[in-house]
Amino acid sequence: MLQALSTSVIAAEATHNPIAPETPDLVWGAVCFVVLLVFFWRAILPRMKKLLDERGEAIEGNIEKADVAQREAEAVLEQYTAQLADARVEAGTIRDQARTDGQRILAELKEQATTEAARIAANAQSQIEAERQAAVVSLRSEVGSLAIDLASGVIGESLTDDTRSAAIVDRFLHDLEARDLEASDSKAVSS
Protein backbone atom coordinates (compact mmCIF):
# COMPACT_ATOMS: atom_id res chain seq x y z
CA MET A 1 0.00 0.00 0.00
CA LEU A 2 2.74 2.42 1.06
CA GLN A 3 4.71 1.64 -2.05
CA ALA A 4 1.71 2.22 -4.25
CA LEU A 5 1.09 5.54 -2.51
CA SER A 6 4.61 6.87 -2.88
CA THR A 7 4.92 5.83 -6.50
CA SER A 8 1.64 7.53 -7.33
CA VAL A 9 2.77 10.75 -5.59
CA ILE A 10 6.13 10.77 -7.34
CA ALA A 11 4.52 9.88 -10.63
CA ALA A 12 2.20 12.87 -10.27
CA GLU A 13 5.15 15.19 -9.73
CA ALA A 14 7.31 13.65 -12.41
CA THR A 15 5.03 13.94 -15.42
CA HIS A 16 7.62 16.31 -16.85
CA ASN A 17 11.28 16.84 -16.07
CA PRO A 18 11.36 19.45 -13.27
CA ILE A 19 14.67 20.83 -14.52
CA ALA A 20 13.41 21.60 -18.03
CA PRO A 21 11.87 25.08 -17.92
CA GLU A 22 8.63 25.84 -19.74
CA THR A 23 8.15 29.19 -21.45
CA PRO A 24 5.19 30.51 -19.37
CA ASP A 25 7.05 29.56 -16.21
CA LEU A 26 10.05 31.69 -17.24
CA VAL A 27 7.88 34.53 -18.54
CA TRP A 28 5.82 34.87 -15.41
CA GLY A 29 8.86 34.36 -13.17
CA ALA A 30 10.59 37.22 -14.98
CA VAL A 31 7.48 39.41 -14.79
CA CYS A 32 7.21 38.82 -11.04
CA PHE A 33 10.88 39.71 -10.62
CA VAL A 34 10.66 42.89 -12.68
CA VAL A 35 7.53 44.04 -10.85
CA LEU A 36 9.15 43.48 -7.47
CA LEU A 37 12.46 45.03 -8.53
CA VAL A 38 10.75 48.21 -9.70
CA PHE A 39 8.58 48.22 -6.60
CA PHE A 40 11.51 47.97 -4.18
CA TRP A 41 13.86 50.16 -6.20
CA ARG A 42 11.49 53.03 -6.93
CA ALA A 43 9.08 52.97 -3.99
CA ILE A 44 10.14 51.12 -0.89
CA LEU A 45 13.90 51.65 -0.67
CA PRO A 46 13.73 55.44 -1.31
CA ARG A 47 11.12 55.70 1.45
CA MET A 48 13.32 53.67 3.73
CA LYS A 49 16.36 55.79 2.90
CA LYS A 50 14.42 58.97 3.57
CA LEU A 51 13.25 57.62 6.90
CA LEU A 52 16.76 56.59 7.91
CA ASP A 53 18.10 60.03 6.99
CA GLU A 54 15.34 61.74 8.95
CA ARG A 55 15.93 59.48 11.91
CA GLY A 56 19.66 60.18 11.81
CA GLU A 57 18.99 63.91 11.70
CA ALA A 58 16.51 63.67 14.56
CA ILE A 59 18.99 61.77 16.70
CA GLU A 60 21.76 64.24 15.89
CA GLY A 61 19.42 67.14 16.66
CA ASN A 62 18.50 65.61 19.99
CA ILE A 63 22.11 65.02 20.89
CA GLU A 64 22.90 68.62 20.03
CA LYS A 65 19.94 69.82 22.11
CA ALA A 66 21.11 67.75 25.03
CA ASP A 67 24.61 69.19 24.65
CA VAL A 68 23.25 72.72 24.71
CA ALA A 69 21.14 71.95 27.76
CA GLN A 70 24.13 70.42 29.50
CA ARG A 71 26.27 73.44 28.78
CA GLU A 72 23.55 75.77 30.06
CA ALA A 73 23.18 73.76 33.22
CA GLU A 74 26.93 73.85 33.78
CA ALA A 75 27.00 77.62 33.30
CA VAL A 76 24.14 78.11 35.75
CA LEU A 77 25.84 75.87 38.28
CA GLU A 78 29.05 77.85 37.94
CA GLN A 79 27.13 81.08 38.40
CA TYR A 80 25.45 79.73 41.50
CA THR A 81 28.73 78.56 42.92
CA ALA A 82 30.26 81.97 42.32
CA GLN A 83 27.27 83.67 43.92
CA LEU A 84 27.52 81.36 46.89
CA ALA A 85 31.20 82.15 47.32
CA ASP A 86 30.45 85.88 47.09
CA ALA A 87 27.71 85.53 49.67
CA ARG A 88 30.07 83.68 51.99
CA VAL A 89 32.71 86.40 51.66
CA GLU A 90 30.07 89.06 52.29
CA ALA A 91 28.77 87.25 55.33
CA GLY A 92 32.33 87.05 56.68
CA THR A 93 32.84 90.79 56.13
CA ILE A 94 29.57 91.61 57.86
CA ARG A 95 30.51 89.40 60.80
CA ASP A 96 33.92 91.03 61.15
CA GLN A 97 32.35 94.47 60.89
CA ALA A 98 29.82 93.60 63.58
CA ARG A 99 32.56 92.32 65.83
CA THR A 100 34.67 95.49 65.52
CA ASP A 101 31.57 97.63 65.90
CA GLY A 102 30.67 95.81 69.07
CA GLN A 103 34.13 96.22 70.47
CA ARG A 104 34.17 99.87 69.61
CA ILE A 105 30.77 100.47 71.22
CA LEU A 106 31.88 98.60 74.34
CA ALA A 107 35.03 100.69 74.61
CA GLU A 108 33.05 103.91 74.15
CA LEU A 109 30.58 102.94 76.83
CA LYS A 110 33.39 102.05 79.22
CA GLU A 111 35.05 105.37 78.62
CA GLN A 112 31.80 107.25 79.11
CA ALA A 113 31.16 105.43 82.35
CA THR A 114 34.66 106.22 83.59
CA THR A 115 34.28 109.91 82.73
CA GLU A 116 30.88 110.02 84.37
CA ALA A 117 32.23 108.40 87.52
CA ALA A 118 35.14 110.84 87.63
CA ARG A 119 32.77 113.76 87.16
CA ILE A 120 30.49 112.57 89.92
CA ALA A 121 33.46 112.08 92.26
CA ALA A 122 34.78 115.60 91.49
CA ASN A 123 31.35 117.07 92.12
CA ALA A 124 31.09 115.37 95.46
CA GLN A 125 34.58 116.55 96.37
CA SER A 126 33.83 120.20 95.57
CA GLN A 127 30.51 120.04 97.38
CA ILE A 128 32.17 118.66 100.46
CA GLU A 129 34.81 121.35 100.27
CA ALA A 130 32.20 124.10 99.92
CA GLU A 131 30.25 122.75 102.85
CA ARG A 132 33.39 122.54 104.96
CA GLN A 133 34.24 126.15 104.06
CA ALA A 134 30.70 127.21 104.99
CA ALA A 135 30.97 125.33 108.26
CA VAL A 136 34.31 126.93 109.04
CA VAL A 137 32.96 130.42 108.31
CA SER A 138 29.79 129.94 110.30
CA LEU A 139 31.69 128.31 113.15
CA ARG A 140 34.16 131.16 113.24
CA SER A 141 31.46 133.81 113.55
CA GLU A 142 29.56 131.69 116.07
CA VAL A 143 32.62 131.01 118.19
CA GLY A 144 33.57 134.71 118.03
CA SER A 145 30.22 135.97 119.21
CA LEU A 146 30.06 133.33 121.91
CA ALA A 147 33.51 134.23 123.17
CA ILE A 148 32.71 137.93 123.17
CA ASP A 149 29.46 137.32 124.96
CA LEU A 150 31.34 135.30 127.50
CA ALA A 151 34.08 137.87 127.83
CA SER A 152 31.71 140.77 128.12
CA GLY A 153 29.86 138.84 130.67
CA VAL A 154 33.08 138.32 132.62
CA ILE A 155 34.35 141.87 132.39
CA GLY A 156 30.94 143.40 132.55
CA GLU A 157 31.47 145.65 129.74
CA SER A 158 29.86 145.69 126.46
CA LEU A 159 32.06 144.87 123.67
CA THR A 160 29.47 145.31 121.09
CA ASP A 161 31.37 147.78 119.06
CA ASP A 162 31.69 145.85 115.91
CA THR A 163 35.03 146.95 114.64
CA ARG A 164 36.68 146.56 117.95
CA SER A 165 35.05 143.29 118.72
CA ALA A 166 35.94 141.97 115.31
CA ALA A 167 39.53 143.03 115.81
CA ILE A 168 39.61 141.35 119.20
CA VAL A 169 38.17 138.17 117.83
CA ASP A 170 40.53 138.13 114.94
CA ARG A 171 43.49 138.66 117.24
CA PHE A 172 42.26 135.96 119.52
CA LEU A 173 41.80 133.52 116.71
CA HIS A 174 45.13 134.48 115.27
CA ASP A 175 46.74 133.78 118.59
CA LEU A 176 44.88 130.57 118.79
CA GLU A 177 46.08 129.50 115.41
CA ALA A 178 49.61 130.54 116.19
CA ARG A 179 49.50 128.50 119.35
CA ASP A 180 48.18 125.58 117.47
CA LEU A 181 50.93 125.96 114.92
CA GLU A 182 53.56 126.19 117.69
CA ALA A 183 52.16 123.12 119.36
CA SER A 184 52.22 121.15 116.20
CA ASP A 185 55.77 122.39 115.46
CA SER A 186 57.04 121.39 118.86
CA LYS A 187 55.25 118.12 118.56
CA ALA A 188 56.95 117.53 115.19
CA VAL A 189 60.33 118.48 116.68
CA SER A 190 59.84 116.31 119.75
CA SER A 191 58.77 113.40 117.70
Query: What is the smallest separation between the CB atom of 34 and other proteins, expressed in angstroms?
Result: 9
15, 23, 158, 163: residue in contact with other proteins (rule CB under 8 A): 23
Q: Does residue 9 touch other proteins according to CB under 8 A?
A: yes
Q: Does residue 36 touch other proteins according to CB under 8 A?
A: yes
> What is the DSSP track for the chain?
-HHHHHHHHHHHHTTS-TTS--HHHHHHHHHHHHHHHHIIIIIIHHHHHHHHHHHHHHHHHHHHHHHHHHHHHHHHHHHHHHHHHHHHHHHHHHHHHHHHHHHHHHHHHHHHHHHHHHHHHHHHHHHHHHHHHHHHHHHHHHHHHHHHHHHHHHHT-----HHHHHHHHHHHHHHHHHHHHHHHHHHHHH-
The residue among 37 and 117 lying less far from other proteins, judged by its C-beta, is 37
3, 11, 15, 19: residue in contact with other proteins (rule CB under 8 A): 19
7, 50, 114, 149: residue in contact with other proteins (rule CB under 8 A): 50
1, 136, 154, 188: residue in contact with other proteins (rule CB under 8 A): 1
Q: Does residue 53 touch other proteins according to CB under 8 A?
A: no
Q: Does residue 80 touch other proteins according to CB under 8 A?
A: no
